[in-house]
Amino acid sequence: MAEPLLRVEHVSKRFGGLLAIDDVSLAVEAGRVTALIGPNGAGKTTLFSIISGFLPPGKGRILHRGTDITGLPPYLMARRGIARTFQIVQPFAGLTVHENIAVGAHLSRRSRAEALKAAAEVASAVGLANLLDRPAASLTVAGRKRLEVARALATEPELLLLDEVLAGLNPTEVAAMLPAIRALAGRGVTILMIEHVMQAVMSLAEHVFVLAEGRIVAQGSPREVVSNPQVIESYLGRGAATRLVVAGGGHG
Amino acid sequence: MRGSFYAALAFCGRMLSPIILVPAVLNGLLTGAVYALVALGLTLIYGVLHIINFAHGALFSAALFAAFFAYRLLGLDPYIAAILLTPVFFLLGYGLQRFVIGPAAHGEDRNILLVTLGLAVVIENTLLYAFRADTRTVNLDYAFNVIDIGVAFLSVPRVIAFGVALVVALVLWLILTLTDTGKAMRAVAKEKLGAELVGIDVVHIYAVTFGLGTACLAIAACLLLPTYYVNPHVGNAFVLVAFTVVVLGGMGSVTGSLLGGMFVGVVESLSGLYLGESLGQIGIFVMFILVLLFRPSGLFGERA
Amino acid sequence: MKGITVPWILTIVAALATLPLLTASNVVLNFLIVTLLIALVAQGWNVLGGYGGQYSFGHAAFFGTGAYVTAIMQMRYGVNAWAAFAVGIGGGALVGAIIGALTFRSGLRGSYFALVTLAFAEVLRILASVAPLTGAGVGILIALDLRPQAFQFQSRAPFYWIILALVGVSLVVVRMIEQSRFGAWLVAVRENEDAAKALGVNPTRVKFAAMTVSAAITAAGGAFYAQYYLFIDSGIAYGSWISVEALLAPIVGGVGTVLGPLLGALVVKALGELTKLVTGDTPGLDLVVYGGVLILIVAFAPNGITGLLTNLRGHFMRLRARALGRSDG
């Protein structure tokens, strides 16, 4: 098997008395869509922040193509091809959509004209083409989420970390976003996504990790993971898996 | 050769001798208490409103002028004038925050910076325009009284200032801990949104805090008047020192301001001793810069 | 992208260059020179504050350094005035680099940054008021030598053209920054530093570069001041007056725009003159007006004059579209 694109090795992170991440190890294969799911407060965004350089791990390493990148600052991570979106969207509010995306495009381009051109292409790819000149602050939530993705995409990443990119979207908006993400994967971008919207996880992800209380409690294909009793328990509480089986049996 | 070496040594010895050192330290502590009082206002405002009040210095100058004119025109001894001026300045501070700073800034950090700066410029230069840059002093009979505590002679007004400053700090601490308003202030300082949600009138609390901070200035001014001078720029000198105290003691910490104030007072006294008046001031600013650069949370306070 | 283009900048500068030919009044020329001087200093502040979003309250540090270095080079080391001017700019840039390296490395932002810059300027002022090198309390007088080689002229017009040229250069420099990757990164850091980091921007280095450029431009203003007035002391060079005017002009004119500082300088200086006309020469009143203007602008027109004009244009375009029966964008 080829070296995975990203490897997280025995990473732990403590905040004061709280052990937010407890000896987490996972691997992300290139070209795949991998999902990271788990109940709220499990530590998923914390893990993202560690992978993308915003937080140093307490213990453990992050390896990119075999190279140790632990503790590199975020901008160097981005330059290595690891881009992330934020769970709480962070647009450049005073700039237009076009200018927002251009900042990402500038990562590999010096010229403003080229960056703007590349930004326009990325905007088309995510369906923001007709909003290019709008101030970013005037976008709807769905628009801002697309902008998050577009900006990260403009850096031409190898690995894209999507943090709950579908949160806060209504079913129509989710349905519109899914093909866009699928298209990204189609272009060869490796995606690691934190997601609560199960529909997206089931239809997009090829491999799923489940994080609960800072620990990986299960991994596998979406189908495998969803029927795993431990996963059910971590979402619904202890004994829930058994109760579900009993209830299922009761209904025949 | 050897003679000059011994002379230099003797000089150092004299400089470091307790006879010079102890009074310098004690006087530093006394001055420091006034710094602490000025800093208390700043740290309160920062702790609750999370803004750095750039107008603090100008307001202090205004308080000094007020105390001065209370003496000149109304014949009020500064210690008596404090009783009058404290509520007046409380109201002034309350009004400024509620009707000028709050509305003008629309809540944005950068704007608050600018508005308080604008206020500082307006106040300081109004004083300059109205009263010119001449330095004024008051002549009080007791201004030069000293008490002899054996190791040093301490100026009576400064000892009084020290005592009152400690009392004020205690009173503030009591207000914060025991009264409803104080608890509301602490709630707003910790979590503004939550405080709003439980029905605390944040706008009012902000204004009260600012008022308290300004009231501290009025008291400090009255305490300082007997032994200091008045001109429109004095406030600035004091306030940069007060900033140093606040940063050193930790933004938002009452204890920190007290201890930080004394510490700064002593440092200033000692560096004034060895470096002379002007360069002594530099000692403080350099310390200020160093603290900001390397330990912005100060000795007692929250992270910058 | 939007914004004023270089050809337009050059046109404006060319138009302004004709002014000395239209008036021989020294009063008017002096007013224009001082206005352009403030515009230059303000443009320096604008690079760091307007585009970079880091509000410095101590730009006097760079102004004063430019002024003192120029004066000291000439008077104590006999350096040619023009060379001294260049060294003055370099000196200011160096001070900017040092302060930038110290403060940004520590991650200081917002109010703390403003405080620290204030402190640096004060330290320099006190040092200059006691150090023999800077003439201590007396200040430095640049010897009168009315020859072009000595950067001194019989009439005001050459001074005017020089400061106009400097302002023109600063306008072009800022426009070029606006159109460059550095500019895009700078603005991104201003808007949202974390998001910028995630897109590959190194905020510390970007802010540091902005500070150095900002300091150099402001120092040029200081150096020019020294040549024009031939006298500086610690209160003039490092005083808070210049720190205030350096930030007031861009805020009034519009932060983060190329022409903002120039427009703002014009308004601020005109207001100052107006105040003097109405109330006489008592010191302090003009600054009172400035302080009041600052508060009013922040309260009612945070984007300054440029912002108001853009808003007006937006309203006008919408009215026009409606009148022509078309639906909105």
Query: What would the 3-class secondary structure string for chain A be?
Result: CCCCCEEEEEEEEEECCEEEEEEEEEEECCCCEEEEECCCCCCHHHHHHHHCCCCCCCEEEEEECCEECCCCCHHHHHHCCEEECCCCCCCCCCCEHHHHHHHHHCCCCCCHHHHHHHHHHHHHHHCCHHHCCCEHHHCCHHHHHHHHHHHHHHCCCCEEEEECCCCCCCHHHHHHHHHHHHHHHHCCCEEEEECCCHHHHHHHCCEEEEEECCEEEEEECHHHHHCCHHHHHHHHCCCHHHHHHHHHHHHC
C291/B118 CB distance under 8 A: yes
Give the residue-averaged pLDDT of C194-214. 95
A75/C197 CB distance under 8 A: yes
Which residue in C185, C192, C203 is closest to A90 by CB distance?
A: C192
CATH code: domain C6-323 is 1.10.3470
Q: Tally C-beta pairs within 8 A across A and C.
A: 83
- For residue C91, the distance in angstroms to the closest alpha carbon of chain A comes to 30
Give pTM, 2 decimals.
0.88
Q: Per residue of chain B (304 residues), what is the pLDDT tens digit? A: 566 667 666 666 655 677 778 888 888 888 888 889 999 999 899 888 888 898 999 999 999 999 999 888 888 888 888 999 999 999 999 999 999 999 988 877 788 889 999 999 999 999 988 888 888 887 777 777 777 777 777 888 888 888 898 899 899 989 988 999 999 998 888 888 888 888 889 899 999 999 999 999 999 999 888 888 888 888 877 877 888 888 888 777 788 888 888 888 888 888 777 777 666 677 778 888 888 888 766 554 444 3
Is C110 at the interface with chain B, CB within 8 A?
yes
Residue B157, pLDDT score: 82
Which residue in B106, B117, B288 is closest to C57 by CB distance?
A: B117
Question: What Å distances lie between residue B136 and A52, B131, B233, B301, CA to CA?
Answer: 61, 10, 12, 37
More confident residue, A150 or A127: A150
Residue C30, pLDDT score: 92
C192/A91 CB distance under 8 A: yes
Cβ neighbors of A73 (< 8 A, separation 6 or more) are: A53, C197, C202
Over the stretch A144-193, which tens digit does the pLDDT of each residue have? 998 999 999 999 999 999 999 888 888 888 888 888 888 888 888 999 99
Q: Give chain C positions within 8 Å (CB) of A120.
A: none
Predicted confidence (pLDDT) at residue C1 exceeds the cutoff of 70: no
Domains and CATH numbers, chain A: 6-251 (3.40.50.300)
Which residue in C108, C244, C292 is closest to B292 by CB distance?
A: C108
Q: Tally C-beta pairs within 8 A across B and C.
A: 128
Give the residue-averaged pLDDT of C80-104. 94
B289/C120 CB distance under 8 A: yes
Residue B80, pLDDT score: 87
Residue A252, pLDDT score: 38
- For residue C168, the distance in angstroms to the closest alpha carbon of chain A comes to 23
Residue B8, pLDDT score: 63
Mutation for testing the A interface, residue in C51, C199, C255, C310 having most A CBs under 10 Å: C199
Q: Mean of the per-residue pLDDT values for chain C? A: 90
Is C295 at the interface with chain B, CB within 8 A?
yes
Q: Give chain C positions within 8 Å (CB) of B280.
A: none
C198/A93 CB distance under 8 A: no
Chains with ≥3 CB–CB distances under 8 Å to A = C
C195/A112 CB distance under 8 A: no
A109/C181 CB distance under 8 A: yes
Which residue in C115, C282, C292 is closest to B292 by CB distance?
A: C115
Predicted confidence (pLDDT) at residue A249 exceeds the cutoff of 60: no
